[in-house]
Amino acid sequence: MNKKLIRRRRLKNALFQGVLISIIVFSIIMLLLLLYQVFKVGFSHLSLSFITSMPSRFADRAGIASALAGSIWTISLTILFAIPLGVGTALYLEEYANKQSWWTKILELNISNLAGVPAIVYGMLGLAVFVRFLNFQRSILSGALTLALLILPVIIVSSQEALKSVPSTLKEGSYALGVSKWQTITGVILPFSIPGILTGSILAVSRAMGEAAPLIMIGAAGYIGFMPKSPLDSFTVLPIQIFNWTSRPQAEFQDIAAAGIIVLLVLLLSMNAIAIVLRNKYQNRMD
């Protein structure tokens, strides 16, 4: 009886482990297939001139320069708007707001709801508020503000989690020395939570970099023949440029779309790498 039970438990254990392993193998194979496909088609089209040329109606002369510049412009401004605003909001909610009040509860509930709102809805909001009402036109500024709104809830929620992980004994230790709340935030709370805040923010910014829908909504162009020079210039970004190429009938454009995807991936991965380096630097300082 007992032996039978043990055997059944072991079998269950092995079975479950097997299922989990096959799930992860499946996702990795899918990812590899995707990468293989993209690289097979796109790699031969990658060249310095592809990076430095403007888009063109001839596939062999078309490049990605203006979209790459647009993406870098947009994402830099998005980071500039979203991270201070998001971390600030999280600090207010965690350290200053009265947690018991109905006002704070409604605020927190709505922020988590906003994280689930479809990107296209943010695009409509951006169109109405930034493009029309504030009259920023179809500019990089409008795009960055819209993307900042889009990722703000994610940054707030993940920063809140990071701030919650700061042990209360550390805060008490700081307060007990007569140190003010703000000094405790800069001296203990932020240094302790910065790795977590960075991790959440990186994920959010990466998402913003891959977005096309809200930017199409606010009127980012499909063809830009010049390099954007200021935040008020009209612009396009890599995902839109790629989308534009894939929707053309000529096969050559589909191929350079794959090359564009490689550029986007490299940009994403290098941003993540920078963030990971930053995170490790702070983590080491804390240990």
Partner 1 sequence: MKIIYNNVDFYYGNNHALKSVNLNIEENKITALIGPSGCGKSTFIRTLNRMYEHIPKTKITGEILLDNENILTDAYDLAELRKKVGMVFQKPNPFPKSIYDNVIYGPKKHGLKNKDALDSLVEKSLRKSALWNEVKDKLNKSALELSGGQQQRLCIARCLAVEPEVLLMDEPTSALDPQSTLKIEELFQTLKESYSLVIVTHSMQQAARVSDQTAFFLNGEIIETGTTDDIFTNPKDQRTNDYITGRFS
* Interface with partner 1 (CB under 8 A): 98-100, 167, 169-180, 183, 187-188, 191-192, 285-287
What's the closest the beta carbon of residue 193 comes to partner 1, in angstroms? 11
By CB atoms closer than 10 A (0-12, 13-18, 19+), residue 27 is: exposed
- Considering the complex, state which of residue 176 and residue 251 has its C-beta at the smaller distance from partner 1: 176
- Considering the complex, state which of residue 60 and residue 172 has its C-beta at the smaller distance from partner 1: 172
- Considering the complex, state which of residue 36 and residue 92 has its C-beta at the smaller distance from partner 1: 92
- Considering the complex, state which of residue 49 and residue 283 has its C-beta at the smaller distance from partner 1: 283
Give the count of beta carbons closer than 10 Å to the beta carbon of residue 5.
9
What's the closest the beta carbon of residue 280 comes to partner 1, in angstroms? 15
- Considering the complex, state which of residue 39 and residue 282 has its C-beta at the smaller distance from partner 1: 282
What's the closest the beta carbon of residue 45 comes to partner 1, in angstroms? 49
Beta partners for residue 139, in sequence order: 234
Please give the Cα distance from 34 to 224 (Å, whole number).
28
What's the closest the beta carbon of residue 5 comes to partner 1, in angstroms? 42
What's the closest the beta carbon of residue 162 comes to partner 1, in angstroms? 14
What's the closest the beta carbon of residue 275 comes to partner 1, in angstroms? 21
Note whether 257 and 239 are within 8 A (CB).
no
Note whether 162 and 193 are within 8 A (CB).
yes
Distance of CA 254 to the CA centre of its chain: 26
Note whether 42 and 258 are within 8 A (CB).
yes
- Considering the complex, state which of residue 100 and residue 230 has its C-beta at the smaller distance from partner 1: 100
State which amino acid sits at residue 214.
P
Q: How many angstroms separate the Cα of 149 from the Cα of each of 17, 119, 186, 225, 251?
A: 41, 10, 25, 28, 37
